[in-house]
Each structure stands twice: as C-alpha cells, then as structure tokens.
Structure 1
Amino acid sequence: MTFDRIAEFVLTARDIPESAMEMAALLLMDTVGVAAGAAGMEAGRIARDHAFNFHAAGASEHAAQMIFDGRPASIPGAAFAAATGIDNLDAHDGYNPTKGHIGCAVVPALFAFAEARPEMSARDAICALVMAYEISARAGIALHASVADYHTSGAWNALGVAALGCRLRAASPDALRQALGIAEYHGPRSQMMREIANPTMLHDGSGMGALIGSMAVMMAQAGFTGAPALTVEADDAGAHWSDLDHVWTIEQNYIKPYPICRWAHAALDALSELKAAHGFSPQEIATIDVHVFAQSAALFSGMPTTTSQAQYSLHFALAALLVHGQIGPVQITGAGLSDREVAALLPRIAVQEEARHSERFPEGRWSDVTVTLKDGRQLASGDVNARGGPEAPMGNDEVEAKFRMMAAALSEQRITALWQMHTRLLLPETTFEDIAQLVRAPVENTHG
C-alpha cells in the first residue's frame, strides 16, 4: 500500500463498519474508567504536576485541560500526563500481535486534541479513534518485525497519536508524513524486559509515546521535517499495511479484567475458575503449581513494595485474587501491598515455564494451574487462554462492573453519567464535548 493511500485513510476515512465503531466506543469507555482509577495514584499525580509545571501552553489555542484534573497544560503535556497515569494502572486494552497497548496513548491524545474542536460530533471522534488504533496496530507489528529488541508500546503507539493529531488538526498529507517520521524517530525505543525485571513507573513507555506523537504533529505543521517512517514506508513493511481499511484490528483488541500485566491473566483466570468450581478457601490450599509461557514466568515473584511491582507480579496477583476475590486499585496500592493473608500464600505458589504455552505466545496467553488442597485433592484447570479478547470476550455487564470498580474515586452520579455515554457516543446528535466535560473535572475522592 502506498503512502498516499495510507494518508487518505488517516485524514479522511469515514466508511468504517459499525462493529468497529461500537468496539471503539467500548474501548474508549474502558480506558476512561482506567484513567479515573489512575487519577489518585502517585505516578499519575506526578505526571500531571510535571505537565502543569513544565509543559504549559504559550497560547490558549495550544492548551488542553488534563483529564480528571482540570488544570491546563499544552496539548502534548495533557496527552503525556493522562497516558502516563493510565499506563501505571495496568488495566487498559491491548492487541496481542503488537505485544502491547494502543488505547492508553491514543485516548488521552483524543481528549487533548479534541478540546480545540468543541463542535466535533462524537461519531467523528470515534472515527478518528478507530483510525488511530489501525495505524498503531500496524506500526507496532512492523516495528517488532524489523528490530530484534522487545520494545515498549510507546515506540509505536506514538505513530497512532501522530496520525490522530494530524486528522483532528486537518494536516496536509505532507505534514502527516513528516509527523509519522518524527514520531517514529523519537519514539521511546525502550526495552520492555528491563521494566519487567525491575518494575517502575516507566511502565510501557506510553506516556512518552503520547508526548512524542503529539509533539510530532505540532512540529510537522510548523515545518519541521522527519525522515520517512520505516514502519510505514520501507519496502519490507508493505505487507503489514496491505489490509488497511478492510481488516479492522480494533475488533481484535482485548479488555483486561484485572489491573495486572496480561501475562499473568491466564493463570489468574485458571485459578478463578478452579475456585468458582470447587469453593475452596485460601486456608485449605497446600500448594499452587502454575505452568506459564516464558514471559509470564519472568514476572515479579515476591511480595511487592510498590504498585509497579504489584502490577508486574504473578505470585502476588494470584494470592490477592484468592484472598479478595477481585483485583482492583485498592489491592495494588497502599495497604494492599502489605496484606498479611496475601503474603502468607506466596510461599505456596510455584511457577515454571511450559514449552507449549511459550510456543503460543504472542498469539495467545496460555497457562494452566493445579491446586493441591491440604486434604490431598488435586484440582487441575487444564490449559486456559487469557479472557477479554475476541476468543473469550467480557460481557457488557462485566465491562460495566470493571468500569465502576476502576472509577470508584468518582461520585456515583458521575460514574453513572459517564457509563451512560457508552450508548450515546454513536448517536448523531452527541458531541464529543458531552463526554469531555464529564472527564476533565478533578476526581471527587482519591486513593493511594
């Protein structure tokens, strides 16, 4: 596919299947819920304060209010702050073939760029969001195919942000080309497994992806040039773009039931199914044997002292799910990190890599769990693939329940009003400003 056709899709595409539009609306709401949950967490607070202090706009037309905060920053600053917060509450959507995440960068960018267009319909905003998912997905796959390192999502979701900004700012095809080149060149080519080995607030690089992608738009429109994006224009990248505008990858994104790295989710689902079927309590458990793929086996194995470690954990996540029956912001922050009942379970959990599960990564996230009870019974889950994706989607009731748990820092009235936007976003009379007004105001309460 030539760049001209890609540019046409980015800047003008509106003939999008309704199923893709509906999925985009659902992913938007899911990401908004995560953003609300992240607002009171330390990483999000630091990012917003940083954006307010050091990424201010020089003119009002270049400013955007930070979501769930209300203070102004520059458009790139507002996108950076929200993406960093969302990235640090690891409950946002993802796409298996990219081994990473799209919504955590492009949804914050949508709110930041859209503030200058209060008249924009929600449908037009959702069209732009679908486009950004499609560009991000292909850029991510192309980048993974062209380099040896396993890089964070910010390395490629920056291109989706740049495409989104160019569309909303009515950029020319040449400005788009320069913006994609700038975003790819400066995108954070950070090493994912370093973060897995030492979990920190750096997380998956999507805060920097949102910042760089947004900056690339402004710089390109001002005349700054960038080398053509290899993930878009290189000869060997063409195969990854050939199905653009007739295969809608957004419909293959997963929604996460837990704010934990998805590498842990198959084991969490397997253990949850066993507990539901057999009704055992944590006190009845002698051992838990967990067989996982290699990347899952590399997750943090101790009792976390930080939220970052908790979100990149396997042993802790399994224990927390057993003790509390759910994992939400409360379980991975504050007192949740020193829960004695959870800590007591960790020595009973053994994790090892299983070759057949590793062979199915990244197309699937497979694990199996065997629970041995103190009375001698052994309960085996069999092979389980992480749910939330198209092969085992969460129902709307589950997604709403997750949204309400994540957004618990908001008032009940605001939570309900936000969730009701899910059914209104695709109506012709709805403006994107209708939801943006609900999202920009500060949270009513915080946790952490």
Structure 2
Amino acid sequence: MSEEALASFVAALDRDAIPDAVADRAGLAIADTVGAILGGTSDPAVAALTAEWAERNGGQSTLFGTAGQRTSAYKAAFCNATAGTVLELDEGHRFAAGHPAIHTLPAVLADGEGSFKRGEELLVAFVAGYEAAVRAARLVVPLTSGYHPHGTWGAVGAAAGVARLREFDADRTLQAMRIAANYAQHTRFAAATEGATVRNGYAGMSNLAGLLAADQAQAGFTGLADGVARHLEPLAGEGLHRDALADGLGETWELEHGYFKRHAACRYTHPVLDGLAALQRDHEIDPADVTAVRVETYPAAAGLDEPHPRNALQAKFSIPFAVGTALTTGETGKAAFTDEALTAAADDIAERVEVTVADDIAERVPDERGARVIIELGEETLTTEVRAARGGEDDPFTEAELKEKFGDLVAPVIGAGQVEDLWTAAREPAAPRVLCTLSRA
C-alpha cells in the first residue's frame, strides 16, 4: 500500500540518497523557517504564552527568542511553530496548498535538541518529514470547503520527521504516521478571515501531535490500518488521491517545488501585491488620486474580500486591506500587517477595492495562481497581470533576498551581531542544539 511505501522511504532515507540540490534547498528552507519563527516571537499572545511556559516548566528544548529558557519538547514545538505562522512569512508549497516546513521543523528541532542530534541527522529528518507532509497533503487536496490547511495533514509530516530522527524502522514509522493522522484538526479557514487568532496555533498543534504520535509508536501503540488515508479522508474535497502518498519517492523531491514569501500576508494576496509593486515601480501613484481598484483573481483568493479587518491576522487575509496598506505605506513586510497598520488611510483605499473571480485565471489553478490588478486614477487606468507570485520555482527569490528577509526578522530579537552566525548554522544546518542556542534573545 502507498502508506507502507512512504513509511519505508522515510525509515531508509539517509544523506547519500538526498541529491545535493535538494539538501541545499532544505538548508535554505530551514534557515527561512527559523527566521519566520524568531520574527513571530514578538507577537503579544505568543510572547505571553512563551513567558508563562518558560516560568513554570523545565526541559531540554529551547523556546525561541527567549534568553535561553527551555521547556518540554511538546511545548517548545507548539510555541515555536505558532510563532512561525503569525507573520504569514513561512515557506509554503503550492501543490500542498499549505506550509509543510513549519509543520515539520519545530518538532524535529525540539526533539533533536534534547537528544543531542547532529546537523546531518537534522537535515535528513527535515527532508523526510517535508516529503511525507506534502504527500499527505496531495492525498487530500483540494480540501473540503471551509478547511484551513494548517493543522490538517501536517502532523503526518512532523511524526515522520521525528520518526526518522529517532531511527525508527519502517513499521514503527508507519504506526507514528497513522497515529498522527488521527490527530488532524478540524481547522476552519473562517478563523483566519474573521481574525480569530486560534488559527495561529494550528501548526503548533500539528507539531505537538507529531511528537506525541512518535512517542506513542515508540511505546508500542499501533495505528488504524490504512490510517493515514482513513483519518484524513473527511478533509478530501474531491476524494482521496491514494497514489500521491508514494508517487515519485526518491525521484521527485517536493522540496524543490516549495515557495518562499516576502509579503507578510496570505499567499493568495501575493500576486496582487506583486502586481501593485510593478505598477508602483513604473508609475508615481498618489493614493489620493485612486478612485477605484479592481482585482480579478481565482476563487479561493476572491473570498478574501473583507475591506475592514479588525486585527493583524484578519488583515493578512484581506485583499482590500493588502492593497490599501501597500499603496499608502509602500511596504508589504511585517510592519505593513500589524494592528498599528490598520490606519484610516489604508481603510479608505480598501473601501475602493473590488475583488472578483476571473475565469481565465481560475482555469490555471493550481499550476498558476494569479491576479489582474486595475487601478483607476481619474481618467487614467493602470493595468497589470501576474500569472504566479514571486518566490516559487518559476520566479524564485535570490539567496541574498532571503538572507535580507532573515536579517530583518532576526536582528530585532537576537541582535544584529548574531545574524550571520545563526544564518550559517541554520543554512548548513548545524546540530539542533547549536542552532537553538543561537536563537536566544
């Protein structure tokens, strides 16, 4: 069966089997994810929970962005994964329609730090977990209407990564993956679009569940036969794609099809923001002259049409606000999507934005997720189309651009003097304990 083949692949994976280009990409994804985690530690709710757990609990796993406080692997994985999602700057995968790195790395780091694993072991476990996570996603994508991808299939990847780190055999790895699938959450996309910040903990729970599943499998618990598919089946909007679990194992590396983000908002907004950036480069656009903005895009993105977000999370899932903040501030990074960025000026522009579905753009999903942006300036009209947002395989960011993003997120937390060392440690990657030590404030 496909799930057995995937478990066997995970259990047998070693560094020699991973092409150098894939290993290099994995190091870049690890570094980018560490940056997203540290950048998100400033979120007030994340910081408050981290401080509470740091004060009450001892352990072997680092809470990122603290002065070296450690807690249990479960709690560190939850806090660090949650921090990594709050900014909407974490790595993603278009065919998974979600974010496999943040669903895998925090659990692997937390477990590897406490067991003094080496950097090569971290790399192999991360690759194993990532490949398993994306294949679990492909099993069920497109998701049943209303589901948010965070917290659904990701626990399978976290469990696979931890299983590989602990050197489980194929059967024990399979049990861990089956048990983890049982812990898939019934996550609602509405939490994001309505600004309910419980959504920020979805990936945290997946990492915690992956660790728990590995512990249970190690202790002798067993999972439901065909459990990955049977537990995740309710999520599958068009039925299960069973062959996806084993498709191309060892030949097609899903890591090579991921994307990186520089706009601090839902990926669905990115082609719009890329289009706006292009227009702003070529034209001087005074927000006061904007009479209307029309955005034509694909159906999932067109649903992000709330013009008046109430908080930073909801703002990240609002195309009208994204347009408003980009036009009024010229920025689309972390500072452009905060509670402080919810200004009257951005709100005024958002009121003038109309978001609709364009059939020609919808037909190209999932190979392309694009947008057409039309700005009306009195008698002048500016138009641009983006077929796919930057950061993916068709239009990747340079390593220098990603390193700049990393520095912007990390320096305010650990100090500018530590940025280069942490980048190198994450990029290689170094041993989990070294990497986590460098992630202290």
Same fold (TM over 0.5): yes
Alignment partner of 2:400: what SS? helix
Letter in 1 for 2:212: M
1:282-431 alignment runs, 5 A limit = 282-337=287-342, 339-374=343-378, 376-410=379-413, 411-421=415-425, 424-425=428-429, 430-431=430-431
Name the structure 1 match of 2:236. Answer: none
Deviation at 1:237, TM superposition (A): 1.4
Residue pair 1:177, 1:228 contacting (<8 A) in 2 also: no
1:144-159 alignment runs, 5 A limit = 144=141, 150-159=147-156
Letter in 2 for 1:158: A
Name the structure 2 match of 1:40. Answer: 42
**Equivalents in 2 of 1:268, 1:331: separation in Å?**
12
Alignment partner of 2:199: what SS? coil
Name the structure 2 match of 1:446. Answer: none
| Inter-CA distance 100–47: structure 2 relative to 1 (3 Å threshold) | farther
Name the structure 2 match of 1:134. Answer: 131
Residue pair 1:180, 1:229 contacting (<8 A) in 2 also: no
Cα deviation digits, residues 110-162 of structure 1 (max 9, x gap):
210111233x3323311211111100000011023696764423111100100
Residue pair 1:106, 1:164 contacting (<8 A) in 2 also: yes
Residue pair 2:136, 2:244 contacting (<8 A) in 1 also: no
Alignment partner of 1:98: what SS? coil
Deviation at 1:408, TM superposition (A): 4.1
TM-score with structure 1 setting the length: 0.88
Cα deviation digits, residues 81-129 of structure 1 (max 9, x gap):
11112122211111111111111121111210111233x3323311211
**Equivalents in 1 of 2:103, 2:54: separation in Å?**
18
In the alignment, structure 1 residue 19 sits paired with structure 2 residue 18: no
| Inter-CA distance 256–18: structure 2 relative to 1 (3 Å threshold) | same
| Inter-CA distance 49–155: structure 2 relative to 1 (3 Å threshold) | farther
- Indicate which of 184, 197, 204 corresponds to 1:201: 197
Identity across matched positions, percent? 26
| Inter-CA distance 104–50: structure 2 relative to 1 (3 Å threshold) | farther
Alignment partner of 1:350: what SS? strand
| Inter-CA distance 228–83: structure 2 relative to 1 (3 Å threshold) | farther
In the alignment, structure 1 residue 98 sits paired with structure 2 residue 96: yes
| Inter-CA distance 368–3: structure 2 relative to 1 (3 Å threshold) | closer
Segments of 5+ residues of structure 1 without an aligned counterpart are: 444-448
| Inter-CA distance 295–130: structure 2 relative to 1 (3 Å threshold) | same
Cα deviation digits, residues 210-234 of structure 1 (max 9, x gap):
1111111112211222213544699
**Equivalents in 2 of 1:146, 1:326: separation in Å?**
32
Deviation at 1:308, TM superposition (A): 1.1
In the alignment, structure 1 residue 170 sits paired with structure 2 residue 170: no
**Equivalents in 2 of 1:48, 1:408: separation in Å?**
19
Alignment partner of 1:351: what SS? strand
- Indicate which of 256, 269, 280 corresponds to 2:261: 256
Residue pair 1:269, 1:384 contacting (<8 A) in 2 also: no
Question: What is the number of equivalent residue pairs in this alignment?
Answer: 428
Name the structure 2 match of 1:188. Answer: 185
Deviates further, 248-257 or 84-93? 84-93
**Equivalents in 2 of 1:150, 1:357: separation in Å?**
22
Cα deviation digits, residues 235-293 of structure 1 (max 9, x gap):
96134413111100101000011110001111111111111112323233222111111
TM-score with structure 2 setting the length: 0.90
| Inter-CA distance 318–145: structure 2 relative to 1 (3 Å threshold) | closer
Segments of 5+ residues of structure 2 without an aligned counterpart are: 234-239
Query: CA RMSD of the aligned region, Å?
Result: 2.4
| Inter-CA distance 435–53: structure 2 relative to 1 (3 Å threshold) | closer
**Equivalents in 2 of 1:197, 1:145: separation in Å?**
19
| Inter-CA distance 306–229: structure 2 relative to 1 (3 Å threshold) | farther
